[in-house]
Structure 1
Amino acid sequence: MIATTGIDESSVHYRGWRVVLACFLMAFFMFGFGLYGQGVYLAELQRAHGWPGTLVSAASTFSFLLTSVLVIFTDNLLARIGLRSLILCGLTALGASTVMLALMQTPWQLYLAYALMSVGWTGMGTVVIATVLNSWFERRRGLALSLAFNGATCGGIVLVPLLLTLTGSIGFRSAMLAVTMAMVVLVLPVVVIFTGWPAEMSPDSGGRPSGGGAAAPAHSRKALLAQAAFWTMVLPFAIALLAQMGFIVHQVTFLEPLIGRYAAGLAVTIMAAMAVVGRLSLGLFVDRLDPRLASAASMTSQAAALFVIVQSTSPTVLLICCAVYGFSIGNMITFPPLIIQREIGAAAFAAAMGLGTSISGIVSAFGPGIVGLVRSLTGDYTTAFAMCVVLDLVAAGIVLWRPGASGAARRSR
């Protein structure tokens, strides 16, 4: 594919790096508004309308579950309406969602806004970003994915404090409208100018080389679900993300009684910063690693960090462990596309990414609830986080299993 063209992917003049910039901005606003910003909406909508927290939280859960269903059909949408049109639909839906959040007056509008946010995830989320970068890069694919997905973490680090600051000075409604306008101004021209498939790919191929239509049966969702190899690419990350989401949501509640509110907030900041460092540092050489081995090492390091967190009460040790844990957080969404591309191939990539992301999203959505339930039943977080340690180790074991590829998978390469 790319390798046969003789193009130097390391050159700053290579057009693929401008596509990376577009994907970074997409991830920045999609994750900033669609994931990290949800805590801001919860607080502000309760304050403005007096709605119970369960109403807003239920809307968030609805959005995540709907997203997990819609992303299954990403490959179909790419083939039907094209890459740029899908991204622009996602941008429009996300912008409409954030404007509605700013202007809403009734609960039904809340659920409509969150449904639109799910459409935004479909057009600007993980699957689209991974699919387009997979088509532009071969030798530097890992670095490209790492740089683009760092936009997700930066969205949490920058966008949420910005929303909170603006809300304090000009109000929630004006803050949401202002940042939405900034998103459109920044993302729209970059998407229109930079995004697209490489010249050697047909515009309706969904990221597959021209002439790849003959492999269509190989990337049916039914065929993928029948492959043991596919499950070893998806299930371990679903399990690891379940544990990861559970820890992240309950991190401050666990740490605050031990080290105080300020230090607990610092732990979250350190963990987020280390997620950026982890993606960048690993991205420099991940293309030379076996992604399954690297995934298992990351999951094991998170298990080790959590094990020490449960045992220690030292502020210094807890902060260090949060940093170690954070180092691998971002890579949990970087590794799956690398494994899928190597073992399933380009023809099935979008279908496999959509299906895998859906499974991981549904499974991981239960992480916070399961950790909270275990904590309620046992009275503390020791058993709940010990469960997360076990889940990480189980995930590391599964990802190292390499069942023989099926004939369908071999044909898709």
Structure 2
Amino acid sequence: MVVATSLDEFSLGYRGWRVVLACFLMAFFMFGFGLYGQGVYLAELQRAHGWPGTLVSAASTFSFLLTSILVIFTDDLLARIGLRALILCGLIALGASTALLGLMQAPWQLYLAYALMSVGWTGMGSVVIATVLNSWFERRRGLALSLAFNGATCGGIILVPVLLALSGSIGFRSAMLAATIVMVVLVLPVVVVFTGWPVETALNSAEGSPRRGKPARHSRKELLANASFWTMVLPIAFALLAQMGFIIHQVTFLEPLIGRASAGLAVTIMAAMAVVGRLTLGLFVDRLDPRLACAVSMISQAAALLVLLQSTSPAVLLGCCALYGFSIGNMITFPPLIIQREIGSTAFAAAMGLGTSIGGIVSAFGPGIVGLVRSASGDYTMAFAMCAALDVLAAGLVLWRPGRKAETKRNLAPSP
């Protein structure tokens, strides 16, 4: 029987790094198609079918809300059908969704495609990625998560321009079908060969680490009654609400100040800095307190927003977008690190699923709330100041540590 040790994690030959590659590809296509690509679908479906933007936007909202419900049951699905089967189901659903987006002729097919995309999120999204990497890594967990989740940002940087270029040259239908085929060809063999739970783990630190491996099913009622869970979930949800609000309204705010081209450059800089931020944090986060690092990231975003509101200098505005982007990707890296440290492995998948669901539902209102405040006040000053205030509030909440780690784990221990 193969026994994994913590020393393996520092070797390039450790199988866990191949699992990271598989998770990177999953994040690349899932976030590329399922999040960043939605702007492409909005434009192309309006152009191809003359459908109103509200119809396509409503389908996007439906998909995000359905995803937030389905991810709650990730731990149940992992226990019932297994890791590899769940990922393959997600891949099939995402492939069917993207192919249908290219082939559809009727509005009801749009909602079917977006429902399939929600199933794809359940099988290939952040909850599954965090859960499998949590089982493979202990001392390099933060780096592994950062590398894998960089696939999400790379999906936006690479896949969206490719889809736009292909749509212009060979048409939207052919572009979607070609991209779907490429996804299946790249992801399917990697998932089949590389993904799985460690055969055996016996990692013993000074405190005595729990055995890592297949996550146990866990009562969500116990998580909802746990204060440590809420002081992780609510701050992240508030920060994501502010983050989604700023991202969606960023170009609208910047274009009158610095022009369309420079506003587009600001988005590119912000996305690139998200990659840099994840890689930089990944190198050090395993030696840091994740709650403190999370609070610092939230404060940096608040500072960037406040300076953004006080300046009209293109250089300063682009610098603020770069600073803001540095912490964007890390908001989905911190939760699994906090959960593992304070709640433990036995409830990891359940806590990730429930926390992701709550954060997804709350953050979905971000763009709408920012838009309402902007309309009521006449400009973005109050709206972005509200986002900065939410970041400061979130930073204070995430530093609150109710109870001790040992007590938390004992309270969440599965019943025999």
Residue identity in the other structure for 1:34: G
- For residues 211 and 104 of structure 1, what CA distance do their matches in structure 2 show? 39
Matched with 1:389 is 388
CA displacement 1:95-133 (0-9 Å, x = unmatched):
000010000000000000000000000000000000000
- Correspondence 1:17-28 to 2 at 5 A: 17-28=17-28
- C-alpha displacement at 1:408, in angstroms? 5.8
In structure 1, the residue matched to 2:166 is 166
Select between 30-39 and 7-16 the one with higher mean Cα deviation: 7-16
Preserved contact between residue 215 and residue 349 of structure 2 (Cα < 8 Å): no
Identical pairs, percent: 82
Supply the AA of the counterpart residue of 1:66: L
Give the SS at the match of 2:8: coil
Amino acid in the other structure paired with 1:378: S
Asked if 1:117 is matched to 2:121, the reply is no
Change over 3 Å in CA distance of 1:211–1:282 after alignment to 2: closer
2:204 maps to none
In the TM superposition, structure 1's runs of 4+ consecutive aligned residues that sit over 6 Å from their partners are none
2:228 corresponds in structure 1 to 229
Matches of 1:26 and 1:225 in 2, distance apart? 29
Residue 135 of structure 2 aligns with which residue?
135
The aligned runs of 1:249-328 (5 Å cut-off) are: 249-328=248-327
Partner Cα distance (1:255, 1:297) in 2: 25
Shift of 1:171: 0.3
2:353 matched to 1:354? Answer: yes
**For 1:285, what is the secondary structure of its paired residue?**
helix
Paired with 1:74 and 1:17, the residues of 2 have a C-alpha distance of: 23
CA deviation after TM superposition for structure 1 residue 41, in Å: 0.2
- How far off its partner does 1:10 sit? 1.2
Shift of 1:4: 7.3
Alignment of 1:10-409 (within 5 A): 10-200=10-200, 209=212, 219-405=218-404, 407=407, 409=409
Shift of 1:200: 1.4
Name the CA shift for 1:3/1:341 in 2 (closer, same or farther; >3 Å): farther
Q: What is the TM-score when the length of structure 2 is the normalising length?
A: 0.94
Q: Which amino acid in 1 is paired with 2:317?
A: L
**Contact 2:302 2:388 survives alignment (8 Å):** yes
Contact kept, 8 Å, 1:208 with 1:347, in 2: the verdict is: no
Q: Residue type matched to 2:269 in 1?
A: I
Amino acid corresponding to residue 120 of structure 1 in structure 2? G
Residue by residue, what CA displacement relative to the aligned partner does 1:77-109 show, whole Å, maximum 9, x if unpaired?
000000000000000000000010000000000
- The structural deviation recorded for 1:7 is 3.9
Looking at structure 2, the residues matched to 180 and 45 of structure 1 have their Cα atoms a distance apart, in angstroms, of 17
User: Following the alignment from structure 1 to structure 2, what is the Cα–Cα distance between the partners of residues 98 and 212?
Assistant: 31
Residue 8 of structure 1 and its aligned partner are, at CA, apart by 2.0
Aligned partners of 1:28 and 1:154 also within 8 Å: yes
Secondary structure in 2 aligned to 1:345? Answer: coil
SS in structure 1 of the partner of residue 322 of structure 2:
helix
CA–CA distance in structure 1, aligned partners of residues 363 and 214 of structure 2: 37
With normalisation by structure 1, the TM-score equals 0.95
Q: Which residue of 2 aligns with 1:410?
A: 410
SS in 2 for 1:13: coil
Does structure 2 conserve the Cα–Cα contact (< 8 Å) formed by 1:63 and 1:115? yes
Q: Structure 2 counterpart of 1:81, which letter?
A: I
Q: C-alpha distance in 2, partners of 1:194/1:209?
A: 18
In 1, are the aligned partners of 2:198 and 2:213 still within 8 Å (CA)? no
TM-align CA RMSD: 1.8
Kindly indicate whether the alpha-carbon contact (under 8 Å) linking 1:68 and 1:358 is maintained by their aligned counterparts in 2: yes
- Quote how far apart the aligned CAs of 1:6 are: 5.0
Q: What secondary structure does 2:272 align onto?
A: helix
- Residue 207 of structure 2 aligns with which residue? none
For structure 2, list consecutive stretches of 5 or more residues without a partner in the other structure.
Answer: 202-209
Contact 2:6-2:139 within 8 A present in 1 as well: no
The secondary structure found in structure 2 opposite 1:358 is: helix
CA positional deviation for 1:292: 0.2
Deviation at 1:12, TM superposition (A): 0.5
CA deviations over 1:278-330 (Å, ceiling 9, x no partner): 00011001000000000000000000000000111100000000000000000
Structure 1 residues 14 and 34, CA, compared in 2 at 3 Å: closer, same or farther?
Answer: same
C-alpha distance 93-212 of structure 1, shift in aligned 2 (>3 A): closer
Structure 1 position 208, deviation (Å): 7.0
Secondary structure of the 1:199 match is: coil
Compute the displacement of 1:32 (Å): 0.2
Partner Cα distance (1:364, 1:161) in 2: 25
